[in-house]
Amino acid sequence: MLQGTGSDVGKTVLVAGLCRLAANRGLAVRPFKPQNMSNNAAVADDGGEIGRAQWLQSLAARTRSSVHMNPVLLKPQSENGSQIIVQGRVFGQAKGRGYQRLKPQLLGAVLASFEKVAEGADLVIVEGAGSPAEINLRAGDIANMGFATRADVPVVLVGDIDRGGVIASLVGTHAILDEADRAMISGYIINKFRGDVSLFDDGIRAIEGFTGWPCFGVVPWLSGAARLPAEDSVVLERLARGGTGALKVAVPVLPRIANFDDFDPLRAEPDVELTFVRAGERLPADAGLVVLPGSKSTISDLADFRAQGWDRDLDAHVRRGGRVIGICGGYQMLGRMVHDPLGIEGGRQETPGLGLLDVETEMAPEKTVRNSHARSTEYDTPLSGYQIHLGITRGPDCDRPSAIVDGVPDGAVSADGRIMGTYLHGLFSSDAYRARLLESFGLSGRHGNYRESVERALDEVAGELERCLDAWWLGELLG
């Protein structure tokens, strides 16, 4: 089990890389994460929601994804409340303290899923969440040491040297863990190192002197990781901005943005300048395309969209002849009205939309969760993706669907064809659709195979880990 000295230390990529390394050696390897908090969800091959990170790790492991790989998924809906997904299905909602009381009840499901994932596997690589150093959350813990001690899984601690203070974070973790938890840790990995690794030799000796833990490797900054789908929206703050692409695509970053990895295929296109627009910034006037992303809370994010003045920016963009695509919650926002008669999202029960599509959405308790095969009606190209949404959208513009999904019309297109909405996530992952979209903006040339680029990045990460991690430890791990 890989646990971190903090959040965003790179555990997800390390687990994915180790899964690919094990799979390349012919092992039946499976990823597992007891508890995840993310609005970047995927639909597992056996149905139900899991974190996109575990979907990526299953791809790295060359195995089918399962809801049991991420038995507890928390999807934040407000500042202090989340929807709880257990083994792929909606379990309920809870705020911070309420969830802390609920965690012990979920341990049984976590352990049962772990046993399910382990069936027939040579190796299971587990990813922790946050840090075991958060000892204020240790009671009832299911994400880190609470799971490791119950399942008897040895732990490797991961420290991020790029953010600074890695020696103190590792030694501090050793100092504050109780004896039983500390005994689970077999060693540590230093991640995201830049420069001459030998310069950290004294640091390794210091950490061993304080903790007695061996170092299992110093991992450099992995360039391949940038080509992998990101899990946590904190990554949006670090994505490169600007660029020289001929087409500027603007994406407003909503407070509860969901499934933002929809845009990774566009970000990989050399002719595209993908700009994530943060709070306090304007939608760029020179954007050719604005894409409204998915949202975990459509009504709240719509209010924030207006508070930022982005509604006025979007109207100006449309008047200039610009195009707009809305995905899932972004699609719902483009309509005339969003109704929530049952208060599913809480707060206001009805709010005006942006009025760019002649449709209305009504929130409903039944949640659509499925992988889908589709076809673009605009370009007559194949699409594949997934749907995770609440709500039913109807209106005259639905008579011009944006796609046929699983044999059923989906989405809507405005009469002039410049505004489009869809419930299909993964739209831009279709190489044929993405190529035709870019061609409609006058961009020609060879467009890459996105799925192949992800596969190559996973192999690249695995190869780098094989070179830099301790050979003895890898031998113990992989046989």
- Contact at 8 Å (CB) between 230 and 259? no
**What's the angle, vertex CA 293, arms to CA 289 and CA 299, rounded to 5?**
125
Q: What are phi and psi of 399, to 5 degrees?
A: -70, -15
Is-catalytic flag, 328?
yes
**Assigned token pair, 401:** 């669907």
Strand ranges inside 331-478, DSSP E = 337-339, 350-352, 360-376, 382-394, 403-405, 408-410, 412-413, 419-422
* 3-class secondary-structure state, position 6: coil
Region of 243 please: left (phi>0), alpha (psi -120 to 50) or beta.
left
Cα-Cα-Cα-Cα torsion 105, 106, 111, 117, nearest 10 degrees, comes to 160
**Assigned token pair, 19:** 């899964």
**What's the angle, vertex CA 473, arms to CA 470 and CA 474, rounded to 5?**
85
* 3-class secondary-structure state, position 377: coil
C-alpha 165/C-alpha 201 separation (Å) is 15
Which residue of the set 328, 389, 398, 447 is catalytic?
A: 328
Q: What are phi and psi of 273, to 5 degrees?
A: -105, 105
Which residue of the set 174, 389, 425, 447 is catalytic?
A: 425
Q: Which residues pair with 383 in a beta bridge?
A: 374
C-alpha 421/C-alpha 427 separation (Å) is 11
C-alpha 68/C-alpha 219 separation (Å) is 29
Report which DSSP code applies to 385: E
3-state helix, strand, coil in the chain (%, to 5): 35, 30, 35
**Which residues carry out catalysis?**
328, 425
